[in-house]
Amino acid sequence: MIEIRPAKVEDAHEIASVHVSVWREAYFGVMPQAYLESLTPDARAGAWAERLTDPEEPTRTLVADRGGQIVGFCTVGPPRLEAPEGFGELHTINILVTAQHQGLGRRMMAEAARTLRDLGFSALTLSVLRDSPAGRMFYESLGGTLSGRHMDSYDDFELPAVEYRWADLAALLA
């Protein structure tokens, strides 16, 4: 049984661990290996703790909690991408490999859409690496429409990314 709930500050280190583990697996061969190896839970936990305690933080993070162990998380909020009025953004979704392909991603997208709706948004946009076929097929299977392209900047490299949109959050809420 996996519960999807708002993240708490106590979750910061576990979220960082999931983040690093998923990126190392999902982006192997896509991102420079030295960059992936430089990511560590300890280095990232502080930023998560800040995000989860800052009263002015505009994003919301949800975690997938399996009996006290976090197996996935997602973050939504105001758009960083260019988008028309009413669009919120899914900033990230990461699910541990051991919890993938069991319908959890679909459930988390529904909860993300509900959270955006509660924040006053009516539509959703997101960005995914162009060369991440699993991520792209996931979003396409959920009805996302390819809407743009840009370059994503990391510490000292850039990668091509594509954008998807859902014009109505209702499409994800079911």
Residues that bind ligand COA (CB under 6 A): 22, 26, 93-95, 100-106, 128, 132, 134-135, 137-138, 141
- Taking the complex as a whole, how short is the minimal distance between the CB of residue 46 and ligand COA, in angstroms? 22
Closest approach of Cβ 56 to ligand COA, in Å? Answer: 25
Task: Identify which of residues 54 and 173 has a Cβ nearer to ligand COA in the complex.
Answer: 173
Query: In terms of residues, how long is the chain?
Result: 174
Listed residue (140, 137, 145) closest to 166, CA to CA:
145
Taking the complex as a whole, the smallest distance from the CB of residue 55 to ligand COA amounts, in Å, to 27
Question: For the purposes of burial, counting CB atoms within 10 Å of the CB of 39, is it exposed (0-12), middle (13-18) or buried (19 or more)?
Answer: middle
Closest to ligand COA by CB, 121 or 138: 138
Q: Pick the closer one to ligand COA by CB: 18 or 169.
A: 18
- Nearest distance in Å: CB 132, ligand COA: 5
Cα separation, 22 vs 42, whole angstroms: 15
Burial zone of 110 (CB within 10 Å; 0-12 exposed, 13-18 middle, 19+ buried): middle
Nearer to ligand COA, 4 or 22 (CB): 22
Alpha-carbon gap, residue 83 to 123, rounded angstroms: 10
User: Are 13 and 45 contacting, i.e. CB atoms less than 8 angstroms apart?
Assistant: yes
Token digits of residue 102: 């069991």
Measured from the CB of residue 107, what is the shortest distance to ligand COA in angstroms?
7
Exposure of 46 in the CB half-sphere (CA atoms within 13 A): 4
Residue closer to ligand COA by CB (options 69, 141) is: 141
For Cα atoms 5, 162, 139, give the angle at the middle one, nearest 5 degrees.
45
| Residue whose Cβ sits closest to ligand COA | 105
